[in-house]
Chains A and B, each alone.
Chain A
């Protein structure tokens, strides 16, 4: 266990910058930037924690090739708040205000990859909120998805969509 290694005997000799230090976990982003975090933060990231557990805490540097150095600080920030029990509606609102659609998307995939349930739940709701009442085109653009329907299926979809608008004014395209 990580905690057991850092006994009083050798704690003085362990430098904070030593990547193999048991006191911190080094998360290495896809673009090779090292982020040092407390073991408690790593615990929030199930994927990272199971990685550590697999090696009985001997390995404390974890490569995360799918997460950029741009996104990782957001993930860490959320986990820190989570540990402190300070995930409030206000915090979440502020947190998401800073993020553009691309960042929300990347964090969502990062949360899935790291298996951080709370963050995943939260971002899933953010995405649901962001696509609510948007057009098909908007959703396609937002997710970068290509339309793969056949012309016959398209004709059917147009009828379905036309029906949804009956009695309703088509809503404006989103500003994004």
Chain B
């Protein structure tokens, strides 16, 4: 029996299978096998296969710089970008910073986003890195950079070497009163901004520090400072202390920001009090810890910490 006759016999079945393999042309059984190996098969990779590949990367590349691959995937072409954007979880969902937009999205609720700040006194710059402690080879991921313009004003940028408002590295600014007891964080909106994709409406963050070691800020959900609560990550501080035998925990300058959800919403008393920011000096010179939680974003938390610098 020749192949051709079998093929013609099977036409009806082929059609059914073709339907089963719906999607790209290249996967359907074609009864006339002309040019079965056409070019561009890869470009028409069925979206479910592409999703599967990107999901694997999302799950395996959880640290920087390996995570850049996801940004690469989102830069390949439009369809890749939309598939990648669908797969990447927000910092609130996964505790991962991926795109620059993640810097303006709230952190996770149940565990901290752990960062550190490196101060450079000479240049009046402050660099925010994603890492619980500075990596030995200085490979920690730089998230944001700030420069003190005047005593009461900071500019926040995506790059440590560009604080120009006219450029699209600009993220926002922070102003405080002379004593640093009241401050306002301004969210920068510039075009073309890499933040304009899925960002909620511009949010101004106002806050005051009635006492030297405490904050209160107002977000869309009202928050107020209650009291200093336990929950400071002693373990992590100890990692800093290992280097400095004589350092004493109590000497570590720390701030805690507590969130209290006001109003008559259905929240249990346990949920009403949440630490949303830890900020502390470490025994290492010019290195500060910054841990933030929902509803703060990295940008907001960084701005608040700057007011205490």
Contacts and interface: CB of A to CB of B under 8 A. Distances in A.
Interface of A: 19-20, 28, 30, 32, 47, 50-51, 54-55, 59, 61, 63-66, 68, 105-106, 108-109, 112-113, 120, 124-125, 127-128, 131-136, 139-140, 143-149, 152, 155-157, 159-168, 171
Given A64-B29, A109-B45, A131-B73, 15 more contacts: A51-B10, A63-B3, A65-B30, A124-B52, A132-B66, A133-B68, A136-B75, A140-B77, A146-B43, A161-B71, A163-B194, A167-B139, A167-B142, A168-B68, A171-B65
Contacts of B236: none
Given A139-B72, A159-B158, A30 B37 contact: yes
Contacts of B7: 63
B240 interface: no
Interface in B63-113: 64-66, 68-69, 71-78, 80, 99-100
A166 B30 contact: no
Contacts of A136: 72, 75-76
A83 B218 CA distance: 62
Chain B, interface size: which category?
35 or more
B100 A160 contact: yes
Residue of B45, B78, B141 with most partner-chain A CB within 10 A: B45
B231 interface: no
Contact of B16 (A32, A54, A133, A139): A54
A131 B73 CA distance: 9
B75 A161 contact: yes
Interface stretch (B19-27, B221-229, B247-255): B19-27
Interface in B18-69: 20-21, 26-27, 29-31, 33, 36-37, 39-43, 45-46, 49, 52-54, 56-57, 60-61, 64-66, 68-69
B17 interface: yes
Given A66-B27, A66-B29, A139-B72, A168 B49 contact: no
B142 A63 contact: no
Contacts of A156: 192-194
Contact of A155 (B43, B75, B192): B192
Residue of B13, B17, B49, B78 with most partner-chain A CB within 10 A: B49
Contact of B158 (A139, A144, A163): A163
Contact of A112 (B49, B61, B139): B49
Contacts, number: 170
Residue of B26, B33, B139, B142 with most partner-chain A CB within 10 A: B33
A20 B6 CA distance: 11
A43 B22 CA distance: 21
Residue of A32, A64, A65, A125 with most partner-chain B CB within 10 A: A65
B241 interface: no
9 contacts: A32-B33, A51-B13, A63-B31, A66-B30, A125-B56, A136-B72, A139-B76, A147-B77, A156-B194
A128 B43 contact: no
Contact of A135 (B36, B64, B72, B192): B72
Contacts of A127: 53
Given A152-B192, A160-B194, A109 B26 contact: yes
B72 A61 contact: no
A167 B141 contact: yes
A171 B7 CA distance: 51
B168 interface: yes
Contacts of A124: 49, 52-53, 56
Contacts of A143: 42-43, 45, 76
B286 to A, nearest CB: 16
A112 B77 contact: no
Contacts of B184: none
Contacts of A149: 77-78
Given A63-B6, A145-B77, A131 B43 contact: no
A47 B21 contact: yes
Contacts of A134: 69, 72
B160 interface: yes
Contacts of A128: 53-54, 56-57, 60
Contact of B65 (A147, A159, A160, A168): A168
A163 B30 CA distance: 46
B169 interface: yes
